[in-house]
Amino acid sequence: MEKLDRQILSLLARDGRMSYTDIGKATGLSTSAAQQRVRKLEQRGVITGYRAMIAGDALGLMLTAFIEVKPFFAEQPDDTPELLSDIEQIVSCYSVAGEANYLLKVQVGSAAELEELLAVIRSKGRVSTHTTVVLSTPYEDRPVV
């Protein structure tokens, strides 16, 4: 990947709403050239979308936790993501290597809500869990470019 494309990606990772004019100024490109570069990055699947980052605590979701899940029995079908897909408190589901099969990132309002959620995950997913509660987040979702 060209250095210029990486520079554009870095700019957009920091501010996904940056205008083509501002991208052009930061990279030495014209507005139309910046627009073309961004469109090509989108078409190639390098840029997969744009989204609003929402503060969970502003919605009353004061507690974030990571939950490792693994099936009770090794011969169980590997359908955990499908079984848990309708639980809105699960914000991310990662397939992982190691002791667990999946790592879930969840956001809830309180420890009591986390306890209730764990019961739902265990029952619906037919899994055992191991939970780590987040105390603070010094940084998150840093750009990879």
Instruction: Provide the CATH topology of domain 56-134.
Output: Alpha-Beta Plaits (3.30.70)
Closest residue by Cα to residue 103 from 134, 138, 68: 68
CB 24 within 8 A of CB 34: yes
Closest residue by Cα to residue 107 from 76, 137, 73, 128: 137
Closest residue by Cα to residue 67 from 120, 137, 139: 120
Going from N- to C-terminal start, the domains of the chain cover 3-44, 56-134
> Which CATH number applies to 3-44: 1.10.540.10, 3.40.366.10, 3.40.1010.10, 1.10.10.10?
1.10.10.10
Q: What is the pLDDT of residue 12?
A: 94
Q: Do domains 3-44 and 56-134 have the same CATH topology?
A: no
Q: What is the pLDDT along the chain (145 residues), one digit of tens a residue?
A: 799 999 999 999 989 999 999 999 999 999 999 999 999 999 999 999 998 888 888 999 999 999 999 998 888 899 999 999 999 999 999 999 999 999 999 999 999 999 999 999 999 999 999 999 999 999 988 877 7
Alpha helices per DSSP H over 51-126: 80-84, 111-125
